[in-house]
Amino acid sequence: MEDDGPRCLDCADLGHLVFLPRGDTALTRRSREESGLSAVVVRFNRRRGRYERQGVLVEEEGLARAEARCLADAEARRRRRVRDARRRAEQDVRFEAAFTAEILRLLPGCPEDRARAVAAHASVRGSGRVGRSAAGRALSERAVVSAVVASVRHLETPYDRLLMSGVPRYEARRRISVEVERILCEWGWEAGLGPA
């Protein structure tokens, strides 16, 4: 886009660039470093209502130099990725154990296998669930109890059936709130829940 209108790549003086699709972070970064001129390619995703990166346009010679650099240190980067994946997996195990312990501290009557299942579900990396939020990673009481409430809501109440029958979410949660609070009280929860 230029001057409120679309232009072809040649008209925008970008016709000599080659497209590098997204996916290889090191190659993209190095291609941009090696190119005197580069441009980010985006596409509007109507469903999500936002622009999403598709790749970059870079000079062909810059891309060739970047590929050579990537080939030269590919083994070192592979070893680093393996090491980082192992480190993240160990962190995830420790975090899941801490999350489980916090559930059992706040709700001492909660069955231990259930606490482990809630922690495993809520703390999946990249899931967007409460366990991966900042409050969840800090093991805040509200986040931990919210994860348990979500589990109780789906496993011990007719919440999902209500949603599938067309009941709005806020109304379905209101209808099951007494049952959720009863179960949490059985497990030793003493504070008020607010909305289930």
Q: Are the beta carbons of 38 and 31 closer than 8 angstroms?
A: yes
The confidence score (pLDDT) of residue 135 equals: 86
pTM over 0.75: no
Token pair of 12 as six digits:
């925008």
Of the candidates 17, 63, 70, which has an alpha carbon nearest to the alpha carbon of residue 41? Answer: 17
The confidence score (pLDDT) of residue 194 equals: 47
Angle between helices 141-156 and 112-122 (to 10 degrees): 110
Token pair of 135 as six digits:
């409050």
pLDDT, average across residues 88-104 = 93
The confidence score (pLDDT) of residue 108 equals: 93
pLDDT higher than 60, residue 143: yes
Q: What is the chain's mean pLDDT, rounded? A: 89
| Cα→Cα distances 185→31, 117, 161, 194, Å | 58, 19, 24, 13
pLDDT, average across residues 156-174 = 94
pLDDT, average across residues 136-162 = 92
Grade residue 196 by pLDDT with cuts at 50, 70 and 90.
very low
**Does 97 or 136 have the greater pLDDT score?**
97
pLDDT higher than 50, residue 31: yes
- Per residue in 34-83, pLDDT (tens digit) is 999 998 999 999 988 999 999 999 999 999 999 999 999 999 989 999 99
Could you give the count of Cα atoms lying within 13 Å of 95 in the half-sphere of its Cβ?
A: 23
Could you give the residue ranges of the DSSP H alpha helices within 35-168? 60-72, 74-106, 112-122, 134-137, 141-156, 159-164
Which residue type is seen at 180?
A: V
pLDDT higher than 80, residue 12: no
Grade residue 193 by pLDDT with cuts at 50, 70 and 90.
low
